[in-house]
Structure formats: structure tokens, C-alpha cells
């Protein structure tokens, strides 16, 4: 029982019954594991005891601590769940079962010959998130289990160290953060960082250690200064130095692009006071003592983080003219910041009060569990969960001033689907602070977002095109696909046909044989491709990209045959247009053909003219395909090193209205594209715009063309071959 002393010292309020429950769990676990050893060579029982100690420090209940002691016995020994339920009751058995289900999964899947390592990991994590939705204590045991495994990672192979550390940093540390358990979160981060980037970790650790005494002396001085000021104002507060977490310092250095000496929280104070009004009073005192640094104040009391975290953060210039970070919070806020959802467990367990923060975190857990359950593909499920638990977040407002938490990089469409699926499906525009913005606008913290909806209709297939940047979140992407899947097959084929025809026309492939498109994909027929586009399984742009790649390979094969009698010159070179031409001398004349106006990204070929050097054409140019002099063709490719501005002509057909050209011009300007020629003609209510634009490459053209095509008035946008 000596091993349990640490647990009992952290749980002085245990009843005799609870005390006996934990003792009996230890006795059974010790006997079950008595012949087993860890990779480090230590007796196996040291691991479940360490897990139980972590949970005792979080002030978890006796059944959770007992389950921690027993969490490996069903998987690794002859003891069954029925044995555990008979001796310890249903509560403990359910917790052990929840953890065991997670732990057994890789073994079960490992028996499947087709299973890949990545599939095992993804399905393992998916099952973990599904299990944790039933009882939050399951994930708390799992977090404690992971923390002890990370503490003892040194005995594993380098490959296993890296794999476990990456999984911990990507999944478990952010999860602990979202549950508000800072005490576990920072340990998982630092331990992961230590194994993922050992040299950088060692460098930062040595920097911290080399100036520890100087830093501690500085902190003692500012603590005394602040304590004296608080006493003069009659404030009872606890002032202490704040622990330094290496990974946190590293992230701040990267995010702010500063060196170690300029990271504010290398020197940091934490002030704890009885109530919220005193927090703001202390903030005023701190700013009277030292000059605040502009832009370094955050009020997480008035606007708590999504995980419930509350505190005032400020940074000041201290007496020695160096930065000092100060956090101010109540004692309850500190408990919540350190222990998160675990800090609320006792209240909820005994039914003492309704706890809004606890309910919010529980609902969050259920949402993650539902996401994991909804996804058939484990990789998609884990991608959704990773996105939801990332701490790179933004906070925006609804028109009613509700705060919405989204991953950084989210767009109005992501916001709309977060509010309600129907709002997302009918989204047609957005306003930020009353000003119209594009649907690909990147939301910023503090934005007030209003969604403009249509009375009916659905999402656009273009929203699924990742290159266009309309959607960031997995949730929105999933809802869009679901909408298209609910449409009948014939309608999806029609939608798919419209999307693909539009994309082919944009890329100058409108005459490409449709029967050949199936050859460029893994679909059996052209109709299957159209249905898949309509369902949202693939995008029209991805199909066109495969067509272009197939065409490029075919043209290269033809070109290789043509090259048998091609002329040669002494050296290779790069033209002023960013084109590498085989055999081009330093003074070789190269120009871009005006008949097809190639852009960087188009498959190209050179044609040796009789008097004007080499002309660069697209490989699908009719003049090239119909040439009677294939011996004049020469290999050409876009140079990686050289950039150039290329001219291209685009035609837009639209229903005429006042301000349409202004709106189109604004979209073009927003993409950094210059228009060198504009020709507008009208026919009754139809307007035809012929624009010559200067673009960097084909992808930039595709992006702006797609955005213009989103205008309700626009009928068609297409790239023309000639200037």
C-alpha cells in the first residue's frame, strides 16, 4: 500500500468506502500485473499508479481513480469486465470498458491484412472520441494515461517516440486545452516538443536555465513591488511568478517572429484575487506601476475563451526597462484554468449546482463524439476533430452579438454552416460590419457577420474547390456534400454536367472529346464522372486537371516523335517570358503566340519560325495540332525560377445592370490583377464584356474567373484563345 500514499495525500476528503475501493483496485491490479514490466524495465504496476496519481491531483472521484488503476487489466490479463463489475460495481466497470475499447482497437484492426498504419491510428482516434462522448471521465483517464506514457517515452525507439509525440501534440494537447485542463496541456506540449525537435528544445531549455537566477531575482523584486502596491490599496491578493513553458515560448517566438529575449512571458507574474471587480482594480494598479505595452492587453474575463478560460492578460515595461507579462484572475478562475472540466466534476457529481461552464464543455465533447460517429471514413473523422480542437481560433459576432468560435481562416460560408445547415445552404452573400464582402473573405476576430440568404436553392459546387478558398472547415464541406447527395441522380448528373462544361470552357477545353474524359479518371463512364461531381465527391476542377495532365502526357509523347529531326543549337536557355527552351542560345528570340495566348501553367511547346525565332504555343493550340511541319516543334517548359506577367482575354456575358462593371472590376482588383483593355457591348438586357488582363499564371486566372461567375447576373465567363 506504500504506492498509494501519494494518491491518498492528495485526496484527504475520501470516505472510508472510497478509500477501500481504491485500495482494492490497487491490490487487484498489482496481482494482475505482477509478472509484467514496462519497456523501461520497471514493474508494470508503476504505470497505472502514476495514472491514478495524475487523476488524484485533478481531484477526480474515487471510481475514476479506481478505474485508472484497473485500466489495463482487461486488455493485458485474464481478468474480465464481469469480474470488475462484481467486485467494484457498474460505474468502475463502465469506465474501464470505455478505456479498454479504445486501447483494444489497434490490435483488432491489426488482424486485418489490408489495414495500413495510418488507418489504424485514424480509426483508433475516432473510436476514442466516440467513447468519450458517453462519459467525460473516460477521456480524463486517457489524458492521464497519455501523460504518463509521454513522461516515460525515453525507453522507446526513435520512430515510436516521434509518432507518439506527433499524435500527442496534434490531438491530446489541444484536447486538454479545449477541456480547460492547462495543468495537463502544457506538460503534453513540452514533452512532445522535446521529442519532435530535440535540438531546439535543448537550446531553449539551456537559455531558460542560464538566466534562471537572474530571472528569479527580477521576479522577486517585482512581486514585492506589486504586493506593496496592493496592500496600500487594501487588496488581499496572491502574487507569484508564473511557470515558464518551453513550447509556449517557442510558439510565441514563431508567431511574433521575435527572439528569445523579446518574448514577454519569459518573465511573468500571476495575481489571484477574491473577485472580478478586484481583478480590474489590480489591472489599474499594474498600469500605474509600469507602462503598458500597446496591443498586449486581452480581457478574457469579459469575453472568455471557448474552453471557458478567464483571465486578464497585460504586458508592461518594468523598472529595468524590460518586458513583463502579468495575468490577473480570481482564485476560482485559477482552479478552472488549471483543472478545467475536472474542477467542475465534484459539483456535478454531488448535484450541488448548475454549472454553465461544465455544461458547455460536456456539449463540446458530445459534438466531437457526434462528428466522429457521423464520418464513415476515419481519416475524415480525425481531420474534423483536429480542426475542432485546434487552438488557432477566431471569435466573431452574430448580428445579435452572440460570440461564435471558428478555426482561423474560416469564411462567411463556414460561419453560415456553423449557425445552421439551412443558412449555409442558402448563403448568397455576407456583410462584415454592414459592408459587403466576398464569400471567400477570411474572417477576423471581432468581425460582426451577417449572412445574406436566398429564399430557396442550395450551395454551389465551386464551394468544394479548395483552390478557390470558399470553405475552410470540414463541417461546412461535409454539409455541402450532404446536400448534393440528397439530390436525385439525374439532377446530380445535370448539375455535374453544368459544372464540368463551365470548367472545360474556362480552360479552353470546350471542344475536348467527352468520351476521352473517362480515360483521364478512374470512373467507368462519363456519366459516372458527372454524377460524382454533382454529389460533391469530386470537383469539376480536379477532373479538368486530370484531363490537362493526360493531354500533356499525350502531347509529350507526340512531341518526342517529332523531335527526331528537330534542329539543334549550342546551349539551353531561359527566355524573358519565363520559358525554358531546349537548345535556345543566349540571344535566341522567343515570343508567346497570340493565337492561343499561353499562360504559366498551360502545357506548352515551341515552334521554330523561319524569320521570327521561336513562338511558344499551348499544346492544344489548333495551329500546333494541325501543323504540317512537325519537324519545327521544339521542347519548351515553364521556368521555375523566372516570373512574368502574361496577358489573356476573358469574355463575360451577363444580364446588364447598373454598377455591374464596377463590381467586376473590384473583384479583379482585389486579386491584384491589372486590366489593360476593356470592351463592352450590349444587346437589349445582355451585356458582353471583353477584358484583357495581366495575370501571373493560369491558377490566378481561374480564381478570378470563378469569383466573377458567382455573381447572380453573370451568365457565362470564359477564357478566349486570342488577344
Catalytic residues: 75-76
Q: Residues 459, 483: contact at Cβ < 8 Å?
A: yes
Of 269, 264, 267, 275, the closest CA to residue 329 belongs to: 275
- Which single residue is written with the C-alpha cell 469564411? 411
| DSSP assignment of 55-124 | HHHTT--HHHHHHHHHTTHHHHSS--HHHHHHHH-HHHHHHHHHHHHHHHHHHHHHTSTT--HHHHHHHH
Q: Which pairs from 40-48 meet CB under 8 Å and 24+ separation?
A: 40/152, 40/154, 40/155, 41/155, 44/72, 44/76, 45/3, 46/3, 47/72, 47/148, 47/149, 47/152, 48/72
The 3 state secondary structure assigned to 542-565 is HHHHHHHHHHHHHHHHHHHHHHHH
Q: Residues 134, 372: contact at Cβ < 8 Å?
A: no
Assigned C-alpha cell, 720: 478566349
Contacts of 65 (CB under 8 A, 6+ apart): 7, 11, 22, 25, 52, 55, 56
- Bin 328: left if φ > 0, else alpha if -120 < ψ < 50, else beta: beta
Q: Residues 619, 648: contact at Cβ < 8 Å?
A: no
- Alpha-carbon distance of 559 to 630, in angstroms, equals 8
Burial (CB < 10 A; 0-12, 13-18, 19+), residue 356, is exposed
- Alpha-carbon distance of 226 to 385, in angstroms, equals 43
Contacts of 304 (CB under 8 A, 6+ apart): 310
Q: What is the DSSP letter of 42?
A: S
Assigned C-alpha cell, 610: 523561319
Q: What is the DSSP letter of 254?
A: H
Phi, psi of 512 (to 5 degrees): -65, 135
The 3 state secondary structure assigned to 346-369 is HHHHCCCCCCHHHHHHHHHHHHHH
Of 199, 190, 133, 136, the closest CA to residue 165 belongs to: 190
- Alpha-carbon distance of 124 to 103, in angstroms, equals 8
Q: What is the DSSP letter of 712?
A: T
Determine the straight-line distance between the first and last CA of the chain, rounded to whole angstroms.
87
Which uninterrupted H or E stretch holds 336?
helix 331-339
Of 390, 395, 429, 393, the closest CA to residue 413 belongs to: 429
Please count the helices (runs of H) and the strands (runs of E) in the chain. 30, 22
- Alpha-carbon distance of 615 to 178, in angstroms, equals 59
Q: What is the DSSP letter of 516?
A: H
Phi, psi of 353 (to 5 degrees): -165, 160
Residues 38-69: b if buried by 16+ CB within 10 A, e if exposed: eeeeebbbbbbbbbbbbbbbbebbbbbbbbbb
Of 149, 148, 155, 152, the closest CA to residue 57 belongs to: 148
- Whole-angstrom Cα Rg for the chain: 32
Amino acid at each position: 500500500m506504500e504506492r498509494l500514499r501519494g494518491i491518498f495525500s492528495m485526496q484527504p476528503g475520501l470516505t472510508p468506502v472510497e478509500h477501500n475501493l481504491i485500495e482494492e483496485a490497487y491490490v487487484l491490479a498489482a496481482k494482475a500485473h505482477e509478472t509484467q514490466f514496462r519497456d523501461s524495465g520497471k514493474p508494470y504496476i508503476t504505470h497505472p499508479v502514476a495514472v491514478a496519481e495524475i487523476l488524484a491531483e485533478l481531484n477526480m472521484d474515487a471510481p475514476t481513480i479506481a478505474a485508472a488503476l484497473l485500466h489495463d487489466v482487461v486488455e493485458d490479463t485474464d481478468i474480465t469486465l464481469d469480474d470488475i463489475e462484481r467486485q467494484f460495481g457498474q460505474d468502475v466497470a463502465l469506465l474501464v470498458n470505455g478505456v479498454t475499447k479504445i486501447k483494444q482497437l489497434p490490435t483488432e484492426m491489426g488482424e486485418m491484412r489490408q489495414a495500413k498504419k495510418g488507418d489504424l491510428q485514424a480509426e483508433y482516434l475516432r473510436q476514442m472520441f466516440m467513447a468519450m462522448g458517453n462519459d467525460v471521465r473516460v477521456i480524463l483517464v486517457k489524458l492521464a494515461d497519455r501523460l504518463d506514457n509521454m513522461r516515460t517515452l525515453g525507453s522507446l525507439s526513435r520512430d515510436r517516440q516521434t509518432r507518439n509525440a506527433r499524435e500527442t501534440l496534434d490531438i491530446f494537447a489541444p484536447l486538454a486545452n479545449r477541456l480547460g485542463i492547462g495543468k495537463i496541456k502544457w506538460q503534453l506540449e513540452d514533452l512532445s516538443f522535446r521529442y519532435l525537435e530535440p535540438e531546439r528544445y535543448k537550446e531553449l531549455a539551456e537559455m531558460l536555465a542560464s538566466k534562471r537566477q537572474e530571472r528569479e531575482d527580477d521576479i522577486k523584486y517585482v512581486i514585492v513591488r506589486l504586493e506593496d502596491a496592493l496592500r496600500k490599496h487594501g487588496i488581499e491578493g496572491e502574487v507569484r511568478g508564473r511557470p515558464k513553458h518551453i513550447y509556449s515560448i517557442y510558439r510565441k517566438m514563431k508567431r511574433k517572429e521575435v527572439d528569445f529575449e523579446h518574448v514577454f512571458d519569459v518573465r511573468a507574474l500571476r495575481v489571484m484575487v477574491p473577485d472580478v471587480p478586484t481583478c480590474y482594480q489590480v489591472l489599474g494598479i499594474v498600469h500605474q506601476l509600469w507602462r503598458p505595452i500597446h496591443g498586449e492587453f486581452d480581457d478574457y474575463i469579459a469575453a472568455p475563451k471557448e474552453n471557458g478560460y478567464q483571465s486578464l492578460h497585460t504586458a508592461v515595461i518594468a523598472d529595468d526597462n524590460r518586458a513583463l507579462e502579468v495575468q490577473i484572475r480570481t482564485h476560482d478562475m485559477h482552479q478552472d484554468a488549471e483543472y478545467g472540466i475536472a474542477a467542475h466534476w465534484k459539483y456535478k457529481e454531488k448535484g450541488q449546482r448548475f454549472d454553465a461552464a461544465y455544461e458547455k464543455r460536456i456539449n463540446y465533447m458530445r459534438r466531437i463524439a457526434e462528428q466522429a460517429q457521423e464520418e464513415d471514413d476515419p481519416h475524415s473523422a480525425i481531420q474534423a476533430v483536429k480542426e475542432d480542437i485546434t487552438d488557432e481560433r477566431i471569435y466573431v459576432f452574430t448580428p445579435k452579438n452572440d460570440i461564435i468560435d471558428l478555426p482561423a481562416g474560416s469564411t462567411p460560408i463556414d460561419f453560415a454552416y456553423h449557425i445552421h445547415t439551412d443558412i449555409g445552404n442558402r448563403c448568397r452573400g455576407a456583410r462584415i460590419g454592414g459592408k459587403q464582402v466576398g464569400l471567400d473573405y477570411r474572417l477576423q476576430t471581432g468581425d460582426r457577420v451577417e449572412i445574406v440568404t436566398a429564399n430557396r436553392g442550395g450551395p454551389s459546387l465551386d464551394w468544394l474547390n479548395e483552390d478557390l478558398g470558399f470553405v475552410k472547415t470540414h463541417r461546412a464541406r461535409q454539409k455541402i456534400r450532404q446536400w448534393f447527395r440528397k439530390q436525385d441522380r439525374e439532377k446530380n448528373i445535370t448539375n455535374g454536367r453544368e459544372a464540368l462544361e463551365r470548367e472545360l470552357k474556362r480552360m479552353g477545353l470546350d471542344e475536348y472529346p467527352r468520351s476521352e474524359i473517362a480515360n483521364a479518371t478512374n470512373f467507368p463512364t462519363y456519366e459516372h464522372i458527372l454524377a460524382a461531381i454533382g454529389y460533391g465527391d469530386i470537383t469539376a476542377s480536379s477532373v479538368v486537371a486530370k484531363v490537362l495532365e493526360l493531354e500533356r502526357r499525350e502531347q509529350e509523347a507526340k512531341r518526342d516523335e517529332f523531335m527526331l529531326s528537330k534542329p539543334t543549337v549550342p546551349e539551353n536557355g531561359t527566355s524573358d517570358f519565363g520559358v525554358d527552351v531546349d537548345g535556345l542560345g543566349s540571344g535566341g528570340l522567343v515570343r508567346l503566340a497570340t493565337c492561343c495566348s499561353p499562360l504559366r501553367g498551360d502545357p506548352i511547346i515551341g515552334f521554330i519560325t523561319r524569320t521570327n525565332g521561336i513562338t511558344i504555343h499551348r499544346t492544344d493550340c489548333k495551329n500546333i495540332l494541325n501543323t504540317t511541319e512537325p519537324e519545327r516543334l521544339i521542347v519548351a517548359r515553364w521556368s521555375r525560377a523566372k516570373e512574368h506577367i502574361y496577358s489573356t482575354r476573358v469574355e463575360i456575358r451577363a444580364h446588364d445592370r447598373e454598377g455591374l462593371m464596377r463590381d467586376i472590376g473590384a473583384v479583379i482588383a482585389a486579386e491584384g490583377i491589372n486590366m489593360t483593355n476593356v470592351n463592352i457591348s450590349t444587346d437589349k438586357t445582355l451585356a458582353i464584356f471583353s477584358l484583357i488582363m495581366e495575370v501571373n499564371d493560369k491558377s490566378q486566372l481561374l480564381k478570378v474567373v470563378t469569383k466573377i461567375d458567382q455573381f447572380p447576373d453573370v451568365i457565362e465567363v470564359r477564357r478566349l484563345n486570342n488577344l
